[in-house]
Amino acid sequence: MLRQFRDRLESAPLPLRLLVCAALLKFLCAGFYLPWFTNGSDFALVHGAGAKVLAGQGAQVYGDFFAYRPEDENTMFFMYPPAVALFYAPLAALPFRAALTLFELLGLAAVLGVFAVWARHRRLQPFSEAYYLAFSAILLFFPLDLSAWLGQNDALVLFLVVLALAGKDRPWLSGLALASAVWLRVFLGFVLVYLLIQRRWRQLMGTVFWLAALAGLSLVFVPWSTQLHYFAQLGRHLGIESFYDNQSLTGLFYRALTDSGYTMGIVNAPDLARVLTALASLLLIAGFVSVTLRGGGEADFDEGFGLALVTALLLSPHSDTHHQALLLVPLLLFLERRAVRSASLLYYGFFAAFVPVIAFRFLDQERLIAFASGLWSLAYSIPVLVLLGFWFHCAAGLRREALRAPGCAPARTR
């Protein structure tokens, strides 16, 4: 297999060979090198929650979250759904450094798994141009590297989402994968709206079943009273809405219209920020429903699924750069279309290359303090503005398919 990969690559055009080599080199450096030097700050939270579950202390999993107040300087606490603590319990049986090492290796395996499942699902001809392009696009995508560096699980979430899409005709497998992804990233629950619109009843019911099953299992380890208190607290103001790396509609409006410990907006009008966020969210949902109702049928279900992921990222109250690993699904889909490939490559280039400039700004905030006040604070929202542009790009592609003659499948290039 490796020899065939090498032999076919040698006959590929020079730019494609350079791209594949760059992807491999970057994957080896960022994928294998960086994880050994991270302190796994975010992983420490889930490891600690898993350890409490193993110790029979499920009632204390959300102690720091319940005690948190917006004026506190420390915003690091476990606030994922109870089922997530169960996911991490096996790793919590290991010492922290060993667990982090195993977790990073699982993340690398998930990245390679994303490519393997994607190539099979899209029937990419082995060692073809489309095959190499997908391989390089996945390995070069920066949000996956940021996720590994932070100790986040976005590579696994992306793998589960791709598995759910690839197994759409196997509702119980697809439902299990999607339900697991939803518990790990709650904003992905919006994908169920898309399944409802598309009347994918078996896939929808399979997902709901597994969501309920995992929730029921979590009750064995995290008491019902603790879970009720947790879900009641989810809607409260946390003071992190305007965080530098919140690239959702919430982040856009709260950075521009509130004063916080992160930025000072154009005006301090939190009520206006809240209202505009709600209105923009409703408009986005209405636009999504309108576009997907006119979809081209079964043939472009995948692209509608991709648009649902973009919509979910924008609607999420908190959407960081590492969450944008999910953008690989719609990006890969639209890179297959020659008619929109150039524009799609520009969007890919932004999220794969420019986003690091934004993502690392909070590591040395004093150097960028000039952008934390007034109109300049909009500089922190460049990614969410580009994400909105990408949403319209995907929506326009779906509309073009809807205008095709009924029963005419969209042309795809493998």
Is a pLDDT exceeding 50 seen at residue 409? no
CA atoms of 280 and 286, how far apart (whole Å): 10
pLDDT in tens, 218-275: 998 989 988 988 888 877 777 788 888 899 999 999 999 998 877 888 899 999 999 9
Residue 221 lies inside a defined structural domain of this protein: no
Residue 259 lies inside a defined structural domain of this protein: yes
Confidence tier at 298 by pLDDT (50, 70, 90)? low
Is a pLDDT exceeding 80 seen at residue 395? yes
Is a pLDDT exceeding 60 seen at residue 410? no
Q: What is the mean pLDDT of residues 2-10?
A: 63
Residue 79 lies inside a defined structural domain of this protein: no
- Using CA of residue 303, residue 307, residue 312, residue 314, what is the dihedral sign? positive
Is a pLDDT exceeding 50 seen at residue 394? yes
User: Which of these, 248, 254, 244, 289, lies nearest to 275 by C-alpha position?
Assistant: 254
Is a pLDDT exceeding 90 seen at residue 380? no
Is a pLDDT exceeding 60 seen at residue 81? yes
Q: How many domains does the chain have?
A: 1
Residue 113 lies inside a defined structural domain of this protein: yes
Confidence tier at 363 by pLDDT (50, 70, 90)? low
Residue 150 lies inside a defined structural domain of this protein: yes
CA atoms of 210 and 390, how far apart (whole Å): 31
53-70 as b/e: b if 16+ CB within 10 A: bbeeebeebbebbeebee
Query: Domain limits at 190?
Result: 2-38+107-200+234-402
Minimum mean pLDDT range among 20-34, 76-90, 200-214, 256-270: 20-34
Residue 340 lies inside a defined structural domain of this protein: yes
Confidence tier at 211 by pLDDT (50, 70, 90)? very high
User: Which of these, 33, 26, 3, lies nearest to 135 by C-alpha position?
Assistant: 26
CA atoms of 245 and 345, how far apart (whole Å): 23
Residue 357 lies inside a defined structural domain of this protein: yes
Q: How far is CA 216 from the centre of its chain?
A: 25
Q: Is the pTM of this model over 0.85?
A: yes
Is a pLDDT exceeding 90 seen at residue 300? no
CA atoms of 197 and 109, how far apart (whole Å): 33
What percent of the chain is modeled with pLDDT above 70? 85
Please say whether the beta carbons of 172 and 207 come within 8 A: no
Please say whether the beta carbons of 180 and 160 come within 8 A: yes
Confidence tier at 3 by pLDDT (50, 70, 90)? low
Our CA dihedral for 159, 210, 188, 184, rounded to 10 degrees, sits at -60
237-274 as b/e: b if 16+ CB within 10 A: ebbbbbbbbbbbbbbbbbbbbbebebbbbeeebbeebb
Alpha-helix runs per DSSP H in 269-365:
270-293, 301-315, 328-335, 341-349, 355-359
Please say whether the beta carbons of 322 and 146 come within 8 A: yes
Residue 48 lies inside a defined structural domain of this protein: no
Amino acid at 66: F
Is a pLDDT exceeding 90 seen at residue 190? yes
User: Which of these, 287, 308, 325, 297, lies nearest to 195 by C-alpha position?
Assistant: 308
